[in-house]
Each structure stands twice: as structure tokens, then as C-alpha cells.
Amino acid sequence: MEPLICQSCGLPFAKELMGINRDNTKNDEYCVHCFDNGEFTDHSLSLHKLEVKLIEMAEMHNEITLEEAQEVIKQLPYLKRWHMSIM
């Protein structure tokens, strides 16, 4: 089964890490790191800040490769959280 892709950060996540809606049901569009209790966990996050965060994850923390970060960054404007902000 293909991993889910968070419609905020663009990273794949397993069902166990699904975001949580306000009514405590699982949300399969967002990971729990980005979406909890029916709202985004970081209200000040902008597309640019997320791009920087992804590059930092690749360069400093080795959570993803730089190439993976660059691929995710290319897809960010098309994700649900960010799609409306670029129109």
C-alpha cells in the first residue's frame, strides 16, 4: 500500500500518523505533525518557511536527502494547504 502524502508538508506518512480532526477522527489528508485537533499545528507556517524547513531537514538532520527535499518543494504549491494561497 502506498504511503499517504501530507497535503501540508508534502512528506509521506503511515496511517498511524494521520492527523486528528476536532471530533477525534483520523484525517487522511494531513499528518499529525501538521494537523491536530482539527487545525494546523503551526499557524505561522508559510510556504517559504516550509521550504527552508525541508532543506534544513536534509542538510542538518538527515531525515530526508537534499534531492528528496527538492522534489517535495516542487510539489508544495499543488498541495491542498498551499494551492489556494497561490491563486
What is the model's pLDDT at position 87? 47
Q: Residue 16 in 3-state DSSP? A: helix
Q: Specify the amino acid at residue 73.
A: I
**Percent of the chain scored above 70 by pLDDT?**
94
DSSP string, 25-85: -EEEEEETTTEETTEES-TT--HHHHHHHHHHIIIII-SS-HHHHHHHHHHGGGSHHHHGG
Ranges in the chain, pLDDT < 70: 1, 84-87
Quote the number of domains for the chain: 1
pTM of the model: 0.89
Distance CA 57, CA 78 (A): 21
Output the average pLDDT for the chain.
93
Domain of 69, in residue numbers: 4-86
For 43-63, write each residue's pLDDT tens digit.
Answer: 999 999 999 999 999 998 878
Cβ-contact 57, 69 below 8 angstroms: yes
What is the model's pLDDT at position 49? 97
